[in-house]
Copies of this chain bind each other. A is one copy, B any other.
């Protein structure tokens, strides 16, 4: 993943920090990250660790909206809708850099070259994010489980050009990503296996029709 600080020297990063009035906060595993940001317009960058943006449903269930790894960018204007029923939870010890959105968008910044490099990096990171969202939408638009699975396979196959897809997460997580019932997904995977469309071994799915 592209770092937002790509192309910047240590000294420039420090200048950037003071220009933007950033703060670094540290959170330990399972702690909620910045419960206060829900009311503020900020951009956060994961400097170290791993966290998840969770949506809290009225019934208490929570859904993973986004995984935040090192160098991930998130914030009220990027990853989050206007709703307030979400939490960001550190899944490991996690360091977060916080930038005030208004300070980021301040026109005076534009005279500093190190800022512009940083800003261009943010732009590229966010573009990747949009692509990922579009992929997910393309899958979720499909009405049937089989079609969703095949669309997912199609996208992953186009990315790697290989007929083997190695799931980067559990089958349970795959069901959540595709927004379908887990056991119904297993049923459909079984059908696809029976019809010789795919083979499954651990976290590897082999496409036999390619």
Residues of B within 8 Å of A129, CB to CB, are 130
**Number of A residues contacting the other chain (C-beta, 8 Å)?**
45
* Interface contact B134-A133, CB-CB below 8 Å: yes
For residue A14, CB closer than 8 A to chain B, the reply is no
**Binding stretch for chain B, among A22-30, A91-99, A103-111:** A103-111
- CB-CB contacts of A117-142 with B at 8 A, as 1s and 0s? 10110111011011101111110111
This chain: copies in complex = 2
- What would 16 more interface pairs be, CB under 8 Å, given A7-B107, A119-B120, A123-B123? A55-B138, A63-B141, A77-B131, A78-B130, A81-B155, A110-B117, A116-B119, A119-B119, A123-B126, A130-B130, A133-B133, A137-B140, A140-B141, A140-B179, A142-B179, A143-B180
For residue A181, CB closer than 8 A to chain B, the reply is yes
* Interface contact A81-B131, CB-CB below 8 Å: yes
Q: Looking at the assembled complex, report how far the CB atom of A101 sits from the nearest CB atom of chain B, in whole angstroms.
A: 9
8 A Cβ contacts from A35-62 to B: 55
Residues of B within 8 Å of A65, CB to CB, are 134, 138
Nearest B-chain residue to A131, judged by Cβ: B81
Of B77, B140, B181, the residue contacting A140 (CB under 8 A) is B140
Residues of B within 8 Å of A111, CB to CB, are 113
A136 to B133, CA, bound (A): 10
For residue A210, CB closer than 8 A to chain B, the reply is no
* Interface contact A116-B110, CB-CB below 8 Å: yes
